[in-house]
Amino acid sequence: GRAWAGSRSRGGACPPAVPGYRCRGPAAAAMVEETIRVYARVKPLGRRQQAGSYSVDDEEPLPSLEITVPRDLADGFINNKRESYKFKFQKIFDQEAKQDVIFDSIAKPVAECVLAGYNGTVFAYGQTGSGKTFTITGGAERYSDRGIIPRTLSYIFEQLQKDSSKVYTTHVSYLEIYNECGYDLLNPRHEASRMEDLPKVTIMEDSDQNIHLKNLSLQQATNEEEALNLLFLGDTNRMIAETPMNQASSRSHCIFTIHISSKEPGSATIRRSKLHLVDLAGSERVAKTGIGGHLLTEAKYINLSLHYLEQVIIALAEKNRSHIPYRNSMMTSVLRDSLGGNCMTTMIATLAIDKRNIDESISTCRFAQRVALIKNEAVLNEEIDPRLMIVQLKKEIQDLKDELALVTGKQRTSELSQEELLQLDELIEAFLKDNDPDSSLDVGADMRKIKYCFVHMKQIMNHPMTSHKKLLSQDISEEKNSKKEAEELEKLKGLLQQRDNEINILVATLKKEKKKARDALSQLNATSAGSTVLEQSLSMSLEESQSPSKSFSLKEAKDFRSSVPRLPFLSR
């Protein structure tokens, strides 16, 4: 009864300590070949139901369920019908099995593989009223009645919180297939009061035969509470009706999918996995239930889709079949990977073993035996993030350029950028804090970086009380101050040049005015000399006039004075 138990897969390796796994290829592309594991759960009898005859044998390597059908006397004395049917399962859960035991044995191992990067599927199959929805979703009366879906969500988010070595992203989707039409139960833009108001989901297939669901929304869930709220929202929109077999019968197939992506910091490899938790609508005998109207139409679609599912199962079980009819129904198209594809699949057959439904229980067991023959090949889903790959390739190219420059002797002379300086400081800090004697400081072959590291470590040794970050901040502040001072110096130089030009203009103007003043002064001196000569002449004339021989009249003197020219700029 043990399935995919054990610790989570690391580095692409197969889940350890799991019997039946055969991995091939390198660890990065591990492949797990495994048949679908099938379990059985017997529903407790109701008050008015008569118990059928069955027995469980756990002593064999695989537990077996034996159902006994007593002969009916109404068939006559000649009756060749079989009275005993025996079926083998991985494990059989009797009527007293609790929900936590179901989860630990069936869903928990699959969830472990999904966290490791593999796809997983858990689906329940059985007739109407056999306990499929109770097993998958759970009951609403008690907390202990939680089904596989809420317990799986709790377990996954608990494991994600424990693992801090990776960065995880989780999304959920909820698809309902009703009368061969798909509906999105989690679309936030539509508040549906009827099924027809929900957005319809259509199937699209690409050139690689990969299925894509158009109009199916993926809602991000960062914690368990958000994921459970989305589950409850989808459950309120499900198509449920009352039938003679079940007061709250699911009239549609529902697929709740958990999408998980994980990435290690600094790595370009991303792991993407998904877990399908499927609640199939129950098959029912129309003649026995006596339903009609729209319930009859629903039953026809349900039985038809289950018939197509059985055809796919039969085709997969036959080794010589080249064509698998996945496209016959929407449900088989969606579950293509789960059935014979890249997935780890588990099925639980729900059985209502009372006298009235004994035939349907035998049919369910037969279907389960066919499913157990299908072999899936699960591959670790790893892909390369192109953006991170570009960054890594650029770094590799730069390292090669630095190494080539070191070999050829052609070193770059440009200064290191601020980002490069900060990266070097982080490397220096990590190197100094590492107590490993074999640790190394790898900065490439760039002599600029090597020189910077030596200078910086020398500063740290000379200033033991100051961290290198502080030194770096001082360097940065000094560099900023020097830039600011250079700018101010340029401004002062410009202002000084402007003042020099103004001074030169003023000096030239002053020289011109000084020359004018000198000319005026020379003219003034000449005029003063003329006046002195005139006065001397007058005095001599007066002396002569007093003498009899050298006398002349006053009128002549005035006429002589008036004949001396006067300069226009001299004042009176």
> Strand, coil or helix: what is 318?
coil
Tens of pLDDT, residues 134-146: 999 988 788 889 9
Binding residues are: 126-133
Q: What is the pLDDT of residue 10?
A: 37
Q: How far apart are CA 445 and CA 407, in angstroms?
A: 9
Binding residues for ATP are: 126-133
Domain segments of the chain as ranges: 32-384, 386-465, 472-563
Is the whole-model pTM more than 0.75?
no
Give the lowest-confidence range in 141-150, 424-433, 476-485.
Answer: 476-485
Q: How far apart are CA 552 and CA 549, in angstroms?
A: 9
Gyration radius of the chain's alpha carbons: 50
Helices (runs of H) and strands (runs of E) counted in the chain? 14, 19
Instruction: Summarize the confidence of residues 9-13 as an average pLDDT.
Output: 41
Contacts of 484 (CB under 8 A, 6+ apart): none
Instruction: Summarize the confidence of residues 497-501 as an average pLDDT.
Output: 88
Tens of pLDDT, residues 289-308: 555 566 777 777 888 888 88
Q: How far apart are CA 484 and CA 28, in angstroms?
A: 55
Q: How far apart are CA 350 and CA 368, in angstroms?
A: 10
Tens of pLDDT, residues 164-209: 889 999 999 999 988 888 989 887 765 556 666 778 888 888 877 7
The yes-or-no verdict on residue 417 having pLDDT over 60 is: yes
Higher pLDDT, 60 or 108: 108
The yes-or-no verdict on residue 159 having pLDDT over 90 is: yes
Q: How far apart are CA 46 and CA 357, in angstroms?
A: 13
CB-neighbour burial class of residue 172 (10 A; exposed 0-12, middle 13-18, buried 19+): buried
Q: How far apart are CA 307 and CA 198, in angstroms?
A: 26
Tens of pLDDT, residues 238-293: 765 444 454 445 678 899 999 999 988 877 788 999 999 999 887 766 555 555 56
Q: How far apart are CA 185 and CA 355, in angstroms?
A: 37
Q: What is the pLDDT of residue 409?
A: 65
Instruction: Summarize the confidence of residues 492-496 as an average pLDDT.
Output: 88
Q: Mean pLDDT for the chain?
A: 78
Among 52, 29, 55, 26, CA closest to 40? 55
The residues facing 419 across adjacent strands are none
CA distances from 396 to 403, 431, 439 (A): 11, 21, 21
Tens of pLDDT, residues 318-373: 777 778 888 888 988 998 888 888 899 999 999 988 888 888 899 899 999 999 98
Contact 90, 39 (CB under 8 A): yes
> Strand, coil or helix: what is 75?
helix
Tell me which architecture the domain covering 32-384 has in CATH. Answer: 3-Layer(aba) Sandwich (3.40)
Q: What is the pLDDT of residue 244?
A: 46
Q: What is the pLDDT of residue 533?
A: 66
